[in-house]
Amino acid sequence: MTAAQLTQDIHLLVLIHGMWGSTSNLASMHRVIEEIRLNDSSVDSDGTALHVMLPETNQAESTYDGIDWGGERVATEVSRPCHAVVVRWRV
């Protein structure tokens, strides 16, 4: 693998629902984003990848904890796959 193959820009799109919501509330949005991305040939022309994430930590009654606690849970959930990507591409 060359150095150019090891470096790839990855955009992370995190979909967050509102109070008393669940990931199923955003399932259609997630599906449409994936369909558009796959059908639009200009999106990946520069080699940039898109990862769409639907955090599952804040659902139903846990949405009443406040934005600070909810944000903390989402940040923890998002950081795990981000760390895995960094470790996988580390030389």
Which residue carries 């150095």 as its tokens? 3
Backbone angles phi, psi at 14, to 5 degrees: -105, 120
Query: pTM (2 decimals)?
Result: 0.70
pLDDT higher at 55 or 82: 55
How far from chain centre, in Å, is Cα 74?
Answer: 10
Q: What is the pLDDT of residues 36-51, one digit of tens each?
A: 877 665 445 677 778 8
